[in-house]
Amino acid sequence: MRTLAVLTVRNEAAYLLEWLAHHKAVGFTDFLVFSNDCDDQTVAMLNRLDELGHLAHVENDGPYDKGGIQFTAMKRADKHRLAKRADWILALDVDEFVNIHCGKGQLSDLLEALPEADAITLTWRLFGNADQVRYLGERVTDRFTRAAPAIMHWPWRASMFKTLYRNSGTYRKIGIHRPRSVRDTSMLDGYRWFDCVGRELTGDFKTKRVFSNYGQDNYKLAQLNHYPLGAMESYILKADRGRAVHSDQMLDLDYWVERNFNSEEDTSIARYRPARDAIMDMFLADALLTRLQDQAVQWRKDRFMALMRDEPFRALFGRLMMTPPSRPISEVTGRTLAGFATLGRRDIQQFQNRRSTATDPDS
């Protein structure tokens, strides 16, 4: 069985080896990695890993279609030999780590636990900053262990998922959060979606949904550990890089506050540490990879100091240190906010309906 992880990165060389070693330990057999507009050692490191047979690297430096950098990468991934031969596919980011709770923590254990599944939603569990200021060249999954509560009532982004799906041809395109472009809607009847509690999913989960039902536990069989913030110094570099989909938009406190939850300790991913470290040691036995890793860590430290000369980044760094960890809100408040969101969508639809039926085009 061939299981493919698809990744897009920019200036992430310092994190690549940990991410790759972890997912090899989880049981992925193939890796397809796209890089774009890198200033650090990312391209050199990926080229070396490609030479050694650990992944396939494709430079994705544009031009980009209207969907942006990641969408362009996914379109290129659709045509790649690794995607064509894969039995299962999962698109990930470098700050996302698959964490399987059933069996021995392998992909095969998750698939055996859900034998009727053709698609499995892996819901994010957000891991916060935990007041860590300095970037230390750390292994992310070891350093950051404070997470959002297992049950979140808001924001809905806390319940977003990535989809591990059977590459049977029902969907024609790899998506960032879910497979896209159904070949024939009649094929959806026999294509079964499940979450990581074992609940079968229907309706818009099969066509457009990108978040699980918030307000419930979604992590019984597996979760997707999401480390979107890192140390405060690392977040400044992430702000410099820009948003994943809209790279020209600088990250600010809104992104930080909606993800900086530190309510519970979760060290469940530590079960992979021995296997991950053994794979890391194998990587670092290569002199070039060791040199590139050291250079990548130093690049991040140097880049942070350079950004501190610019007021927008210096101001953001100060605000991060003044901002307390985010507070989970109650179920009642979460329902109220969800109601406001529904009301807003309904008002927009009613306005559009009035516009479409009006006789005066300027009414």
pLDDT top residue among 76 and 246: 76
Length of the chain: 363
The predicted model scores a pTM of 0.93
Domain contains 352:
no
For 268-296, what is each residue's pLDDT tens digit? 999 999 999 999 999 999 999 999 999 99
Count of structural domains, the chain: 1
Domain contains 319:
yes
Question: Which string of DSSP letters, residue by residue, matches 104-154?
Answer: TS-HHHHHHHSTT-SEEEEEEEEB--TT--S--S--HHHH--EE--SS--S
Domain contains 353:
no
Domain contains 305:
yes
Q: How far apart are CA 107 and CA 191, in angstroms?
A: 19
Q: Would you place residue 339 in the very low, low, confident or very high pLDDT band (cuts 50, 70, 90)?
A: confident
Kindly tell me if the per-residue pLDDT of 86 is higher than 80: yes
Domain contains 219:
yes
Domain contains 86:
yes
Confidence at residue 342, expressed as pLDDT on a 0 to 100 scale: 74
Confidence at residue 340, expressed as pLDDT on a 0 to 100 scale: 85
- In percent, the amount of the chain with pLDDT more than 70 equals 93
7-16 per-residue burial string, b: 16 or more CB within 10 A, e: under 16: bbbbbbbbbb
Q: How far apart are CA 321 and CA 346, in angstroms?
A: 39
Domain contains 343:
no
Provide the 3-class DSSP secondary structure of residue 92: strand
Average confidence score pLDDT of the chain: 93
Domain that holds residue 210: 3-329
Confidence at residue 54, expressed as pLDDT on a 0 to 100 scale: 98
Residue written as tokens 């009301």? 343
Domain contains 197:
yes
